Amino acid sequence: MIRVLLADDEAMIRSALAALLRLEDDIEIVAECADGEEAVAEAIRLQPDVCLLDLEMPGLDGVEVAARLRRALPTRCVVVTRHARPGVLRRALASGVAGFLPKSRDAEEVAEVIRRVAAGGRYVDPEVAADALSDERCPLTGRELDVLRAGRRGETTAQIARALSLAPGTVRNHVSAVLGKLGLESRQQAVILAEERGWI
Amino acid sequence: MIRVLLADDEAMIRSALAALLRLEDDIEIVAECADGEEAVAEAIRLQPDVCLLDLEMPGLDGVEVAARLRRALPTRCVVVTRHARPGVLRRALASGVAGFLPKSRDAEEVAEVIRRVAAGGRYVDPEVAADALSDERCPLTGRELDVLRAGRRGETTAQIARALSLAPGTVRNHVSAVLGKLGLESRQQAVILAEERGWI
DNA sequence: ATAGGCCCATGACAGATGTCACCCGTGCGA
DNA sequence: TCGCACGGGTGACATCTGTCATGGGCCTAT
C-alpha cells in the first residue's frame, strides 16, 4: 500500500484527485492539506511514502515544501503545476523533487506517476523536460531578481528601495539592466515575463 | 439521465471531474472540451441538458460561452471558477448562468449542483452570494476600465493611447481618476486590484 | 430652455522612472 | 602581479507618468 499525502489549495481539484486515487487498490490517501505549512506538519506526523504537492499554494509553495521535507524525511515528492515553465522545473529538481507533472495532463496519469516515484524512480513530464533543455537559463542576476520580486504587486520604486534597503537610484539601475537584457520597456512587463518563465 | 457537457482548459481537473461524475448513476458525460469555442460547437451538436463551464479558458471564457448558448439552446449552464469575485458573479448571472460554484468547494458538490440545475433550479454558492451583496459595485467608468484592460500586460501609456486611439494625456487622466478612486499609487496596482475583483 | 451632473478628452506642470557614466570590491586567468 | 570581466551600488540627466484645471457633449430634472 502506497501512503500518499495530498496538498492543493483548491478544494475542488484536491477532493477530485483524492476520490480518484482512493479508487486505486494500492494507494491510500492519508492526508489532504490546503496549504504548504499544513502539508509540512502533516507529512512529519504521518510519514507518507509520497507527497503530491501543488506548486501554487499560499505561503509555502510546493517546491518549498519539498525542500523542507527532504531535510527531515525520506518521503518522495511529486509537484503538480498549472504553469509548467522550464525555470520552475529546474527549481523543483534542485529541491529534490522526484516527480514533476503539469496540470495539462490527465488525472489518470497521476496514479501511475505516484507508483513510479514510490518505487524509487523519477518522473518528469516529457514535454516540460524538452522545453527545459531547449531554453536557456535565466539571464538575470540575483539582485535583479530581488528587485522584480519586491515589485511584483506594482510597488513604487521608492517602496522597493525601502524593502531592499537600497538607494532609489540603485533600484532603477537594476531595473534598467533587466529591461535591457529582456528587451522590454517597463518594470511591470519584466515582472510579468519573469513570473511566466518561473524565474521569480 | 442528465446529459452533461464539461469544459475546462486544464486537463487534470477536467478528466478528474469527468471520472467522478461518471460514477453517478443519473449523470452521463457527453463531451469534454478544452476551450470555449469547442464547448459552443459541441453543445450545439449534442444538445446536452447541462453545461459545466470553467470561467478561465483561453479565447471564449465560461460566461461568454453561456451567453452564446442562451441565444441558441435551452441548455442550462453552471460556471465554475478559481477566483469567485462578486463582479464575476454579476457578469455570470447577467449572461443567464443557472449555477455558480467556486473551485474552493469540494468536487462532491458538483454532482448535486448539476442535479439541481437540471431540475430547473438555480444554484449560487452562498459565500460568493454574500460577498456580492455586501460589496458595492465597481466604481470605475467604462473608459477607465478600457484603459486598465489595455494596460494589463504592463504596456506603456503611449501603447495604451495608440490601442485606444487617444492622446497620451487622456490615458494618463483616466489613470489618475482610477488611482484617486481606489486610493492607489500606480497604474499597475490598479490593474492588479481590478483583476482580483473581477472588474476586467 | 437651462442648469447641473456625468463622462470623456486635452495640454501644462511636477514628480517618478529609466538611462548613463562612473566607482568599488571580488574572482579568475594570463 | 596585473588586467579585466562582472555583480553591485550611486548620482545627474532626460523622458515618462500622474495631477490639475479646463472645455465640450450628452443626459435629466427643474
Domains and CATH numbers, chain B: 2-134 (3.40.50.2300), 142-196 (1.10.10.10)
At residue B196, the pLDDT reads: 83
B15 touches strand C (CB under 7 A): no
Query: Which grid coordinates belong to B157?
Result: 501609456
Residue from B12, B20, B105, B155 to probe the interface with A (highest A Cβ count within 10 Å): B12
At residue B136, the pLDDT reads: 57
DSSP A103-145: TTS-THHHHHHHHHHHTT--EE-HHHHHHHHHSPPP---HHHH
Q: What is the CA radius of gyration of chain A?
A: 19
Q: Is B13 in Cβ contact with A12 (below 8 Å)?
A: yes
At residue A134, the pLDDT reads: 63
- Pick B13's closest partner by Cβ from A13, A188, A191: A13
| Contact list, A19 vs chain B (CB under 8 Å) | 16, 20, 107-108
Cα A189 off chain centre by:
22
Q: Is B103 in Cβ contact with A13 (below 8 Å)?
A: yes
Distance C25 C1' – B194 CA (angstroms): 45
| Contact list, A148 vs chain B (CB under 8 Å) | none
At residue B95, the pLDDT reads: 87
Q: Is A185 in Cβ contact with B12 (below 8 Å)?
A: no
- Beta carbons within 8 Å of B21's beta carbon, 6+ residues apart: B4, B6, B27, B29, B110, B111, B114
> From first to last of its 200 residues, what are the pLDDT tens digits of chain A?
999 999 999 999 999 999 999 999 999 999 999 999 999 999 999 999 999 999 999 989 999 999 999 999 999 999 999 988 877 888 888 888 999 999 999 999 999 999 999 999 999 999 888 777 666 567 888 889 989 999 998 898 888 898 898 888 899 989 999 999 999 988 999 999 988 887 87
| The pLDDT of residue B165 is above 80 | yes
Query: Which grid coordinates belong to B110?
Result: 458538483
- Provide residues 135-164 of A with CB closer than 7 Å to any strand C atom: 156-158
Distance from CA of B127 to the nearest CA of A (A): 15
Strand C nucleotides, any atom under 7 Å from protein beta carbons: they are 6-12, 16-21
